[in-house]
Amino acid sequence: MPFDLNDLRLFLAVVDAGSITHGALEAGLSLPAASERLRAMEAAGDVTLLTRGRRGVTSTEAGEALVHHARTIIRQTVQMRTELGAYAKGMRATVRVLANTAAMTEFIPERIAAWMAANPQIDIDLKERQSIEIARSVAAGFAEIGILSDAVETNGLVLHPFATDRLVVVARHDHPIVERTQVRFADLLDERFIGLAGGALQDHIEGQAAKVGAKLKLRVKLRTFDDICRMAGAGVGVGIVPEKAARRCRRPAQIAVIRLQEKWAVRRLSVCIRSDGQLTPPALSLFEHLARRGRPGSALATSTSRLAR
């Protein structure tokens, strides 16, 4: 069967997500392209690999066999690259990292700047995803490192503390809710919201509203937390942002900051890798740097040359 590595990665992404749509996104393909590639895989083997239904897809018995072999092949490919990478000199390397919105915008830039400066031959392919997708993708080998909320299922992963992310409400300083020190999410559902455009955090917040049978009344979606704070300070509506962003913007935006009472508003972020620990030297260097930065008294950067010795 003429399956290449991209075919196998796509198939695993679809099976792990239980959805061709989400699997295609994880594999960096359009839905039509992914569907066509899956059909070609089935045609090439003259076998049905997936059972397609209204609620998503599941693997057939033949599909389960392919899942087993695909994971083995991809794991061995990673190991091969790791071993060959030890002999490569003067070549550029890329580490694939997935992070949730708060980690991406509020923590990662300052955490990786010194490491990247110390490792000029290494690039980072950084993408934003929801925590549940990050756990699934790292476990499946689609990314080497993930930064996620440890509230999600993390079987098959090794986690180290990274940061604590608290979500807060921002509003104009004379808004009625500023008289409170904390507010319940349910009490905000009649408010007009300023949201984040295209962010995994916004999906998370809207998902929490859906759990209580509500839908956020969104006035506008903006690209950054700073923009949300400025609009809230102007009286456009209320927003929900990480506390670190709110504190940074508090004075210039003239906003009040109110804590959310819900447990889901306090998220402990962790940096994670697969439990088998099969990382390339650059990925291992970055992971150890990020894991140390999650502990007090840690060093700012570790170069791959020192790790290799």
Mean pLDDT per 10-residue interval, the chain, length 309 residues: 85 91 89 93 92 90 91 81 64 89 92 95 91 88 90 89 94 92 94 90 92 96 94 97 93 92 92 86 93 58 38
Q: What are phi and psi of 111, to 5 degrees?
A: -75, -30
Q: What CA–CA distance (Å, rounded) separates 219 from 199?
A: 16
Same domain, 146 and 294: yes
Beta strands at 239-242 and 182-183: parallel, antiparallel or unpaired: unpaired
Closest CA to 168 of 245, 247, 241, 249: 241
Same domain, 148 and 178: no
Output the pLDDT for position 103.
93
**Which residue, 50, 85, 120, sits at the end of a domain?**
85
Domain, as residue range, for 169: 164-266
**Which residue, 85, 114, 141, sits at the end of a domain?**
85
Same domain, 176 and 159: no
Same domain, 131 and 186: no
Output the pLDDT for position 298.
45
CATH of the domain at 240: 3.40.190.10
Q: What CA–CA distance (Å, rounded) separates 52 from 105?
A: 37
pTM for the full predicted model: 0.72
Same domain, 138 and 278: yes
Same domain, 53 and 34: yes
Same domain, 218 and 255: yes
Same domain, 151 and 276: yes
CA–CA distances in Å: residue 281 to residues 104, 127, 226, 275, 299: 23, 20, 36, 16, 18
- In the chain, the N- to C-terminal Cα span, in Å, equals 42
What pLDDT, in 10s, does the model give residues 146-169? Answer: 999 877 888 889 999 999 989 999
Q: How many separate domains does the chain show? A: 3
**Which residue, 58, 85, 112, sits at the end of a domain?**
85
Same domain, 116 and 183: no
Q: Which residue type sits at 99?
A: A
Q: What is the DSSP letter of 240?
A: E
Same domain, 10 and 149: no
CATH of the domain at 26: 1.10.10.10
Q: What CA–CA distance (Å, rounded) separates 197 from 237?
A: 15
Same domain, 120 and 156: yes
Output the pLDDT for position 279.
85
Same domain, 259 and 276: no
